Structure 1
């Protein structure tokens, strides 16, 4: 009934406005960089894969402060988080099956093999590209579920000074500053963000508020020393300090297996990312050569009773060379691309106590990519990619991706894609050790996935309104899971011998009804099962709608966001054997309302209410989440 009511409300709002709707932005107006290894951005409506772009306008209207909140608005994505770790699952895959890029840099923690989305505060000018489906043919390991690419805007995209400050419930204060511009051949932007909160209670019946502080500074630049040459430099430093709670595993305790208040327990996460690259165009701009180098350096320390009791270090070095040749004319364009990626990941467990190996280990990988793209009359688009990976620890692998799109005269676009993916085990899965609880498995093999999708999108009112639907189907083999083998029943990872299947339907609506109204909505129906058993933390139904109204002459605006997550299962360790019990987490709906009022030219007062109806919900078993919160602040552009 919830979805029928939402659909009726949307129809009542949209249908009367269609007659008056003027042309608005469509996917064709969006240039994206994530769907190909060719250096040139491509129109989003020429990709056969499922792509969602959250632009700077949407981030501003919804007053998003952390990326995890805004990703709930994307079809096929499920967000689950507790203090200290926030995960995103795409189309029912695991959290570590998502490749995460920030300004082109791979940012997942090499030690754990995934990215903590709770550590990324949103800059004052940014956009997010979410590419769903197997993308290993382009990017290698980690891209089984898809790719999430967070991009800060250049100075030419958002020039001038932007400032933001805000405070509110739970002792929350956040601020952001950015300055960008163009000086001759040099395009640059520097930004800083700060979020701090005294937090709320994080356990059932608990009393301990969990505070959190996140700081980040980033720099992005593009220098064009000649008409056919470009040099790009990117840097980012971030630090997150977050209190969290442990689960009670004291034998005989009435709260055994439940999250409990854990004073003095917190995690510190510090990361540094950098990229430098150069491009040169030859043959009148038809042949582009690109060379980049990047680094990700991440340190994470955990504390219990204010004493450091765990830690790890991870470092990723990567160098890439891309050569892309463009042939043909506007009627028929061919793009032939070759790419080579060399990558070295180094890991170290720095946990004190002497029971865990604290030496360094490393894994190297060489990936070679061949990609061919075809565009005919800006209607038909075809792309095929093949990748070979030579890994120092695992067997050589071959992954592929084929996708196509065709737009008809009456505004219908049909698209399809098929591909394969791979995910190499992470350091913790291979070598991790927690005394008495967990031991790694050096015999693990990579997980492998194959899948396909087919979608239809229809434009109305000269592109002001677009609706779309996609069916997807994937099969995962050699899935890594946590086993509890006898006689000790000590947790250890292993590869499954059975298959895991994910399939479902994603639908969306996007509308720009004149200059005043913008609507973004989606619904996903997901089935994710392993050998016929439903997989945990994957709601079958997710839905959302964001309705933004802008006052005439941009004097302010209101944005209503409704996010629904259906019921889902989770694993609870309620038995001293540590063999998990499956529990069900109730469905929940979160409503937020954000508004702005122009005080003077370039200066706005902002306010928002989150969890408007004070929903009581859990994303992970026995870990609770904040209730209703109100925030107000000011933002300025000069």
Structure 2
């Protein structure tokens, strides 16, 4: 059924006729994005400028985005990443663009070519500790977190299809705010003006790995259509150090593709945005036969009205599956086959902004999310290869949220405040194990539970003068445990981590204050100090030798400072972001041994500096220096992942017209990046890698 829906979506994109319009109608495709680290209210100003400069009465303004940001957005610590920054990374991966924002991190340092997909949870402000996402990731308003695992399918999110990224650090409210515990990452698809009619690129590296992508975005009727695809494949690099390799060791081979389509049309006063996508990703990790796959399909429909009564309505459906084979690191035989993990997610939102007069922006809305998933896996004796158990687990999580936010513009002062109420249900949870003889040895049915949770946020911005603005905010947040955390045990041999169906939702309390300087049009910088505390933080807690369990800690507290800066003078620019965070665990009871420790996989310092050049002849170049301090693999602080400093390069030179030659270098100095350290058993991140190829239309 899901494939039929996607096929129907594609057919509609090609077949829907444009609605008839008067001859004096006008279509505006002006790109909507701001400069990196600029104040977030500039995005709203750009949207407003488009709507204010309508040249005729019967005007059609097709943006392909949601409603503009509200005036109170700058009260929170927001950073924008422009399209040019997104498409000029050394790796060509989305996560490489996101690490421009200090404090952004995945659970491990690996990117989406050499990590297990389930480890690709994202967080901000050192509020990590496990592989689930504590930051909410939205693509065109649709939550992108996996319905079962909570990770982000990075290989399905091609950066060249994006027009802008906004990262807001700190607890969220508004639509889908129950997942924005550590912040929100909003991805906006590029529209026809940003893409052009056709874009394409083909690159290869010294390991004969390839990256191919293309998009077609014609203006169609009273809007535009877009269809795009990407295919990445390669033998991969050695993640195992040479001194630890055995005959069973294997490169981190990968083969992934993704396709997406979008149709944006203006029908009367309503902009209709229809989107469909599908992806498939195959990877091998550490040993021959340790293969995993993930696949998914998405479809969404969004209706946006920018009239006096502004409305943003969205409905979506998602389907996912994941498989994973675990190979013993001592016998190199299969020990676990997670052969099927089907999951689905459905949801939607509606937001209304009534016309209340100048200086007041009120948002009233509701959203709904439902996630259902099941696990089917086979366990084997790693020595004999004999089947020992068949295991089954799963459940359903549902969330209904109601929210209201209001901004008041009082001259140089802007006040903002929001309140959100969530009704959640954790239902139909189960775990069943059957031995090789077919006898049920465990059959757990977990009690359903539900509750209400209320969260809020409030902030203020003062434009002290033409140069300086001051801001402050306080907030709370909520995150439900994922189906994976509740019901699925997993093994990273030899360590087994058990699930915990009794997990409580995580709750955030935090506040921050910041100052921003707009010294000139080309020089901006700012700093934010923050104090965030996650109560009932879910972590993988050691409870025995090679045995852990997901448990609620009393709290994880993160205090720190973030500094962002940008300088532009003619063709030269510098963009920098650094974060220093003191994060500690508050542990009691079974987790008392963790009290005062730093959360696992959490660095104390991270920073990124990019120097760029954009010449008049279309020449582009960028050099990025990144540093991540040391962090611990485990909760007991026994296995250290040493600090890493990496330099990346990018350059493109026009050949003819919109065709350019491209060169990229990942990890220029071949720094050793340790991504896993399990009692001395090491995994490594990407080594020195050279890419060469061509681009058209970027």
Q: TM-score, normalised by structure 1?
A: 0.85
Q: Displacement of 1:51 after TM fit?
A: 1.1
Matches within 5 A, 1:194-209: 194-204=231-241, 205=243, 206=245, 208-209=250-251
8 A contact 1:32–1:129 mirrored in 2: no
Q: Aligned equivalents of 2:46 and 2:185: distance in 1?
A: 11
Task: Name the SS of the counterpart of 1:507 in structure 2.
Answer: strand
Matched residue, 1:6: none
Matched residue, 2:136: 99
8 A contact 1:447–1:480 mirrored in 2: yes
Q: Aligned equivalents of 2:405 and 2:123: distance in 1?
A: 27
Q: Aligned equivalents of 1:406 and 1:43: distance in 2?
A: 15
Structure 2 residue 558 is matched with structure 1 residue 502: yes
* Cα 1:405/1:337, change in 2 over 3 Å: same
Q: Displacement of 1:529 after TM fit?
A: 0.5
Structure 2 residue 124 is matched with structure 1 residue 90: yes
8 A contact 1:106–1:296 mirrored in 2: no
Note the alpha carbon deviations across 1:320-362, whole angstroms, 9 max, x for none: 1222113223xxx212221111221111112246846536522
Matched residue, 2:686: 626
Matched residue, 1:474: 532
8 A contact 2:350–2:366 mirrored in 1: yes
Moved more, 210-219 or 120-129: 120-129
8 A contact 2:224–2:263 mirrored in 1: yes
Q: Aligned equivalents of 2:46 and 2:392: distance in 1?
A: 39
Task: Name the SS of the counterpart of 2:86 in structure 1.
Answer: helix
8 A contact 1:164–1:177 mirrored in 2: yes
Task: Name the SS of the counterpart of 2:578 in structure 1.
Answer: strand
* Cα 1:44/1:115, change in 2 over 3 Å: farther
> Unmatched 5+ residue regions in structure 1?
1-22, 246-261, 573-579
Q: Aligned equivalents of 2:45 and 2:485: distance in 1?
A: 34
Structure 2 residue 164 is matched with structure 1 residue 130: no
Matches within 5 A, 1:255-294: 262-280=287-305, 285-294=307-316
Q: Aligned equivalents of 2:643 and 2:598: distance in 1?
A: 16
Q: Aligned equivalents of 2:126 and 2:399: distance in 1?
A: 27
Matches within 5 A, 1:140-151: 140-151=177-188
8 A contact 2:394–2:488 mirrored in 1: no
Matched residue, 1:382: 415
Q: Displacement of 1:84 after TM fit?
A: 1.8
* Cα 1:24/1:186, change in 2 over 3 Å: closer
Structure 2 residue 43 is matched with structure 1 residue 30: yes
Structure 2 residue 508 is matched with structure 1 residue 449: yes
Structure 2 residue 211 is matched with structure 1 residue 174: yes
Paired residue for 2:519, among 450, 460, 463?
Answer: 460
Task: Name the SS of the counterpart of 2:407 in structure 1.
Answer: strand
Q: TM-score, normalised by structure 2?
A: 0.78
Matched residue, 2:259: 217
Q: Displacement of 1:170 after TM fit?
A: 2.3
* Cα 1:39/1:324, change in 2 over 3 Å: farther
* Cα 1:209/1:233, change in 2 over 3 Å: same
Q: Displacement of 1:221 after TM fit?
A: 2.6
Structure 2 residue 578 is matched with structure 1 residue 541: no
Q: Aligned equivalents of 2:695 and 2:71: distance in 1?
A: 31
Q: Aligned equivalents of 2:363 and 2:71: distance in 1?
A: 19
8 A contact 2:136–2:143 mirrored in 1: yes
Q: Displacement of 1:50 after TM fit?
A: 1.0
* Residue correspondences, number: 577
8 A contact 2:497–2:540 mirrored in 1: no
Structure 2 residue 380 is matched with structure 1 residue 349: no
Task: Name the SS of the counterpart of 1:294 in structure 2.
Answer: strand
8 A contact 2:86–2:160 mirrored in 1: no
Q: Aligned equivalents of 2:141 and 2:229: distance in 1?
A: 19
8 A contact 2:195–2:697 mirrored in 1: no
8 A contact 2:349–2:368 mirrored in 1: yes
* Cα 1:244/1:120, change in 2 over 3 Å: farther
Q: Aligned equivalents of 2:546 and 2:288: distance in 1?
A: 29
Matched residue, 1:559: 622
Q: Displacement of 1:426 after TM fit?
A: 1.2
Q: Displacement of 1:239 after TM fit?
A: 1.3
Task: Name the SS of the counterpart of 1:74 in structure 2.
Answer: coil
Q: Aligned equivalents of 2:640 and 2:612: distance in 1?
A: 34
Q: Aligned equivalents of 1:339 and 1:40: distance in 2?
A: 13
8 A contact 2:529–2:562 mirrored in 1: yes
Note the alpha carbon deviations across 1:76-134, whole angstroms, 9 max, x for none: 22343442233433101124211111222112112122324455432255322211100
Q: Displacement of 1:57 after TM fit?
A: 1.1
* Cα 1:482/1:421, change in 2 over 3 Å: same
Q: Aligned equivalents of 1:450 and 1:524: distance in 2?
A: 20
Q: Aligned equivalents of 1:300 and 1:196: distance in 2?
A: 19
Q: Aligned equivalents of 1:233 and 1:591: distance in 2?
A: 39
Q: Aligned equivalents of 2:465 and 2:529: distance in 1?
A: 23
* Cα 1:221/1:626, change in 2 over 3 Å: same
* Cα 1:44/1:125, change in 2 over 3 Å: farther
Q: Aligned equivalents of 1:606 and 1:505: distance in 2?
A: 36
Structure 2 residue 569 is matched with structure 1 residue 513: yes
Q: Aligned equivalents of 2:394 and 2:502: distance in 1?
A: 18
Matched residue, 2:445: none
Matched residue, 1:231: 272
Matched residue, 1:602: 658
Matched residue, 2:61: none
Q: Aligned equivalents of 2:45 and 2:466: distance in 1?
A: 24
* Cα 1:470/1:44, change in 2 over 3 Å: farther
Moved more, 208-217 or 132-141: 132-141
Structure 2 residue 631 is matched with structure 1 residue 568: yes
Matched residue, 2:345: 316
Q: Aligned equivalents of 2:73 and 2:342: distance in 1?
A: 40
8 A contact 2:70–2:361 mirrored in 1: no
Q: Aligned equivalents of 1:536 and 1:179: distance in 2?
A: 43
Task: Name the SS of the counterpart of 2:150 in structure 1.
Answer: coil
Task: Name the SS of the counterpart of 1:396 in structure 2.
Answer: strand
> Unmatched 5+ residue regions in structure 2?
1-33, 48-64, 328-332, 380-387, 427-449, 587-595
Q: Aligned equivalents of 2:303 and 2:199: distance in 1?
A: 29
Q: Aligned equivalents of 1:296 and 1:161: distance in 2?
A: 28
Matched residue, 1:9: none
8 A contact 1:179–1:189 mirrored in 2: yes
Task: Name the SS of the counterpart of 1:366 in structure 2.
Answer: strand
Matched residue, 2:11: none
8 A contact 1:29–1:43 mirrored in 2: no
Note the alpha carbon deviations across 1:54-92, whole angstroms, 9 max, x for none: 111112333551111122211222343442233433101
Matched residue, 1:259: none
8 A contact 1:465–1:512 mirrored in 2: yes
Note the alpha carbon deviations across 1:540-591, whole angstroms, 9 max, x for none: 111111111122332x13211111111122229xxxxxxx662222111110
8 A contact 1:152–1:220 mirrored in 2: no
Aligned-residue CA RMSD in angstroms?
Answer: 2.7
